[in-house]
Amino acid sequence: MTPDNAPEHTPDHEPGTASGSRWSDLDRPPLNVTALRRALLIEGGLWTSLDVVPSIGSTNTDLGGRAAALPEGAVLVAEEQTAGRGRLDRTWTAPARSGLFFSVLLRPGDGVPVRHWAWLPLLAGVATASALARAAGVDMSLKWPNDLLVMVKGANGTEERKAGGILAERVTEDAVVVGIGLNVTLRPDELPVPEAGSLALANAVSTDRDPLLRAILRSLEQWYRRWRSLGGDPAGSGLQEAYAAGCATLGRTVRAELPGGRSLTGEAVAVDGEGRLVVAEDGGERHAVGAGDIVHLRAAGS
């Protein structure tokens, strides 16, 4: 028996949500939970359970609330989030079945020092971007620390836009929930803000959410196992190098809006061993930024 707040398994014939029938938009078919489980829940694999719910407030909140009773590798996917959250308590909303909204439960264990857990959202970014390059044919870049960027043709030419985000939260002493939200088929008239984008607007070769989700979860498993097997060492696992290679923030002039209302402007020159962004001011002084909001201003030297 599952606890009262646990999501029930979603059968193929489950009725629609308040947003309408699951088949109300033929361009946005529901996820095939049976096929996803068959492909991802394999013996010896990281993923131990996979549930798809038609609608939920926040996959991170729900999965985090049940973390103590679940093994590592639980995956919760929502066709629609009504109270999705990003960093700094920002909201994340999108039409039903227009994207991928899911969270995974990870237990890095005693072998990974807590100081390295800050790499988990960056690891998820590398895994997602590399998976989508193969499965969707989209050149995705990373904005420190957790935004997924695509290039979209706009009124002023090709623009860098946010198509997804990652939120990692420590929910118990030994567990972290990592949530990923990705706009897949969002149309121009559905964008929450002009700066938003989607895989469809970036001319992805595929917007079929089933293979995209499989590709992301498989890539996430590969990167996570490698990182954990090396004690969370970002350099030894290749994670630090891979993140720097795909990070659109590095080499840019940025403004870091820091806690307490402070701000810092300079060139983003590196991501250090703790996953912090290193910003060099004009005078050469360097600062390691571990928390705050980063605004891309212009390319270095422009």
- Give the model confidence (pLDDT) of 203-230 as tens digits: 999 999 999 999 999 999 999 999 999 9
Say whether both 113 and 233 belong to one domain: yes
pLDDT digits (tens, 9 = 90+) for 126-148: 999 999 999 999 999 999 999 99
pLDDT at 89: 55
Q: Residue 145, preceding bond cis, omega within 30 degrees? A: yes
pLDDT at 242: 98
The answer to whether 64 and 171 are in contact (CB under 8 A) is yes
Residue 21, pLDDT > 90, answer no
Q: Predicted confidence band at 267 (pLDDT cuts at 50, 70, 90)?
A: very high
Does the residue 17 lie in any domain?
no
Q: Which of these, 122, 117, 121, 91, lies nearest to 103 by C-alpha position? A: 121
Does the residue 179 lie in any domain?
yes
The answer to whether 132 and 205 are in contact (CB under 8 A) is no
CA-CA-CA-CA torsion for 70, 74, 80, 81, nearest 10 degrees? 50
Say whether both 129 and 256 belong to one domain: no
Question: Order of strands across the sheet with 263-271?
Answer: 286-289, 277-280, 263-271, 252-257, 293-299
pLDDT digits (tens, 9 = 90+) for 242-263: 999 999 999 999 999 988 888 9
**Mean pLDDT computed over 168-194:** 95
* CATH number of the domain bearing residue 140: 3.30.930.10
Beta strands in 90-221 (DSSP E): 91-92, 99-106, 141-143, 147-154, 157-172, 175-183
pLDDT digits (tens, 9 = 90+) for 274-296: 999 999 999 889 999 998 789 99
**Taking all residues of the chain, what is their mean pLDDT, rounded to a whole number?**
89
Say whether both 133 and 109 belong to one domain: yes
Say whether both 65 and 136 belong to one domain: yes
Does the residue 184 lie in any domain?
yes
Residue 19, pLDDT > 60, answer no
Enclosing domain of residue 229: 33-245
Say whether both 275 and 149 belong to one domain: no
Residue 88, pLDDT > 70, answer no
The answer to whether 281 and 274 are in contact (CB under 8 A) is no
Angle of helix 120-135 versus helix 209-229 axis, rounded to 10: 140
Beta strands in 156-223 (DSSP E): 157-172, 175-183
Say whether both 237 and 268 belong to one domain: no
pLDDT at 299: 60
Q: Predicted confidence band at 300 (pLDDT cuts at 50, 70, 90)?
A: very low
The answer to whether 134 and 110 are in contact (CB under 8 A) is no
Structure tokens at 224: 């996570």
Does the residue 187 lie in any domain?
yes
pLDDT at 16: 39
Say whether both 107 and 176 belong to one domain: yes
Say whether both 188 and 222 belong to one domain: yes
Measured distance CA(290)–CA(104) in Å, rounded: 23
Note the pTM of the prediction, 2 decimals: 0.88
* CATH number of the domain bearing residue 273: 2.30.30.100
Q: Predicted confidence band at 91 (pLDDT cuts at 50, 70, 90)?
A: low
Measured distance CA(115)–CA(272) in Å, rounded: 12
Residue 113, pLDDT > 60, answer yes
Does the residue 174 lie in any domain?
yes
Does the residue 285 lie in any domain?
yes
Say whether both 177 and 64 belong to one domain: yes
Does the residue 130 lie in any domain?
yes
Say whether both 176 and 260 belong to one domain: no
Domains contained in the chain, number: 2
pLDDT digits (tens, 9 = 90+) for 33-59: 999 999 999 999 999 999 999 999 999
Q: CB-based contacts of 165: which residues, under 8 Å, 6+ apart?
A: 86, 87, 92, 146, 147, 148, 180, 181
Residue ending a domain, choose from 225, 245, 265:
245
Measured distance CA(96)–CA(57) in Å, rounded: 12
